[in-house]
Structure 1
C-alpha cells in the first residue's frame, strides 16, 4: 500500500547571512520557488506545506497556489533549531486529522535539488527498514577531518583528530571518504520523528548527491555559485 508522504518547506523571513534570502531573486525567481517547483514535480509527495511566520513569504506562496502553515514568531528566531519547527507543523496538521507515514523536509536554501532526488530518498526509506534518510555530499579531501587543525589555549597548532602533528596522513589516497549533510532532503517516519524528536533517527541511510546539486545557500558567495549552476542548467535545457 502506498504510504502517505508530507513535505514541509521551512521558510522564515529573517536571515543573518543573506537578508531575506528565501524571497531574494535567484536566476530570476525567488529562492523559495525552486523548492516549491521541485516539490510540485515530485509525484511521490501527497501534500506540500510551507511553514513560515512571514507575511510576505506567505503571500508569495499562496499566490502560486501552494499551502501555507503559519508558524509562531518564537519559532522563527536565528537560533531556532529545525526540529521544533517541524514538530509544530506536524502537531498542527494532526489536530486536523492529518497524520502521514513519512515526513520530508525540503529547505529552500538548496535550489539545485531535483524531484528525482526526493523520489530516490523516498524509495530508499520505503524499500528498507530504516527510520530516516538524509541527503549528503562527499567532503573534498582538503576539508577532511584528518587534515584539519585547531588552536590550543596557548595558540599552538593541534590536529583536530587528536593525532600528533607528525602523524598526519599526507597522501590523499590514504584518506577514508567522509560526508556532510547538504541540507537538501530529510525523510523520516512520522512515528519515529515524534518518539525521538529528531530528523536523523537510526537506522539512518545516506542519500549521496553530487556536489553540483548540493549547494546550500548561506552566504553571498553561495548565491553566486548556485546562480551559476542554475543558469548553466537552464542553458543546457534550452540548447538540448
Structure 2
C-alpha cells in the first residue's frame, strides 16, 4: 500500500501536552453492506465523510485511517487523513475495532506520535457532528472522565425470552411506568469514543476508568449496518439538504465552465484487467448539460488531467474541452474571449485547490458540496449535490432558471449570486 503517510516520522505530527488524534478503522470487507466504507452517501464515500467531519473539529490535531484496503486508503488520503496500513490478520470479520485501534496507536508510537487523547470514530455513523466530538474531548481533557462516548436517550421497554415466557429487562412488567417517571436510560450509538490514550493501551478496551455519556440528537445517531440503513441515510441526507436550502437562487450566468474529476465524477477512477481507465458519471448531469446546450449556453470542461476519458465525455456531451492544461485560468480566459463572454458572466464549478484561481476570477464561483474546505471558503455558492452525484445537473438547473428569468439584453452584476 502506497498511502501510509506515517512511515516517515518527520512527516507525522509530533505529540504534545494535550494533543488529540482521531483514528477511524475502515477495513475493506463487510458482510452486511459490501464495501461499506466506500459506499456513497450524497455522492461521498462514507469514510471520506467521516474524515471531513472529524477534520472540522476544533480540538483534533490529526486524523488517521486504519485500513487494509488500497482504495479506502486513497479516498481517505484525498479527504485529508493520514493512513495506517492494517495487517490482514486484523482486518477479518472476527477482528475487533479495539485490535485495529491498538495497532494504529502502536504504529504511531513507534514514530514518536503519542497523543494524550484518542478519538475513535466509526465511518458508518454518517451524521456525526464535530461539535459533539469536541464536547466529548473537553470532558476527557478537563479530567472529568477517562472515557466519553456518544449515546441517545432511550425510552424503549426491553424484553427477553425467560424460562416461563417473555420477561421485562429494564422494567417491571406488572408496573407500567410512564416515560417521564422512569429513570433516564441511554443507548450507545457507536459513533465516537473519546479516551485517554494511556488508559486504553493499558486496559485494551474502550470502557475503562470513569465514564461519561455525551448525549447526541437521535437524528444524528443513525448507524449503517444494512442496505436498508444506507437507503434510510440517503433519505435523511436529502431531507436535510432541502431544509437547509429550500429555494436555491438562480445563477444568471451566460456561460458555464466545470472541472472534471470530483465534479462530473466522484473523483474515483477505476482500472479494468486490461489496464483501461474508466469513471462513473451521473446520468442526470448529462441531461443538465443537454438542456444548457439547447438553451444556447456555452459549456466548457476544463481539466488539468490528460486522461482521454475527459475528452471522450466532452465529445459525448457535445461540449468544448480543454485538457492537460498547466494554467487553467489562462485557458478559461482564452475560451471566454473566444466566445465573446466576459468572465463576470461565467459560472465556474470546481472542487479542489487547483480551481481557486478560476473561482476567484469569474462572476459566479460555484463548488460542489464535498469540495475541499479551502475551496468552499472561497466560494459564495455551494451546491447541495456532491461531485458525481448530480452537481452538474443542479448547476444547470440554476443557470437555466437565471437564463429564463432575465431579458436577453440584461447584464446582471455578479453581486446578485447567492450568499449562503
Does the alignment pair 1:117 with 2:132?
Answer: yes
Does the alignment pair 1:225 with 2:232?
Answer: yes
- Residue 236 of structure 1 deviates from its aligned partner by 2.9
8 Å CA contact 2:224–2:230 kept in 1: the answer is yes
Would the alpha carbon gap of residues 238 and 191 (structure 1) be closer, same or farther in structure 2, given more than 3 Å must change? same
**Greater displacement, 9-18 / 126-135:** 126-135
Does the alignment pair 1:208 with 2:223?
Answer: no
Q: Which structure would you say has the larger Rg?
A: 2
Task: Select which of 22, 25, 29 maps to 1:10.
Answer: 25
8 Å CA contact 1:169–1:175 kept in 2: the answer is no
Counterpart secondary structure, 2:245: helix
Would the alpha carbon gap of residues 46 and 168 (structure 1) be closer, same or farther in structure 2, given more than 3 Å must change? same
Q: TM-score, normalized by length of structure 2?
A: 0.52
Distance in 1, Cα, partners of 2:181 & 2:47 = 40
- Residue 160 of structure 1 deviates from its aligned partner by 4.4
Would the alpha carbon gap of residues 101 and 224 (structure 1) be closer, same or farther in structure 2, given more than 3 Å must change? same
Give the aligned partner of residue 44 of structure 2.
29
Aligned positions of 1:54-69 closer than 5 A: 54-69=69-84
- Residue 133 of structure 1 deviates from its aligned partner by 0.5
Does the alignment pair 1:137 with 2:137?
Answer: no
Distance in 2, Cα, partners of 1:130 & 1:173 = 28
Gaps in structure 1 of 5+ consecutive residues = none
Paired positions, count: 232
Would the alpha carbon gap of residues 196 and 36 (structure 1) be closer, same or farther in structure 2, given more than 3 Å must change? same
- Residue 171 of structure 1 deviates from its aligned partner by 3.8
8 Å CA contact 2:21–2:115 kept in 1: the answer is yes
Does the alignment pair 1:150 with 2:161?
Answer: yes
Would the alpha carbon gap of residues 163 and 175 (structure 1) be closer, same or farther in structure 2, given more than 3 Å must change? closer
**Greater displacement, 100-109 / 228-237:** 228-237
Counterpart secondary structure, 1:105: strand
- Residue 151 of structure 1 deviates from its aligned partner by 4.9
Give the aligned partner of residue 192 of structure 2.
185
Would the alpha carbon gap of residues 113 and 163 (structure 1) be closer, same or farther in structure 2, given more than 3 Å must change? closer
Task: Select which of 76, 86, 91 maps to 1:76.
Answer: 91
Distance in 2, Cα, partners of 1:103 & 1:64 = 20
Q: TM-score, normalized by length of structure 1?
A: 0.89
Relative contact order (C-alpha < 8 Å, sep 6+): which is higher? 1
Does the alignment pair 1:47 with 2:62?
Answer: yes
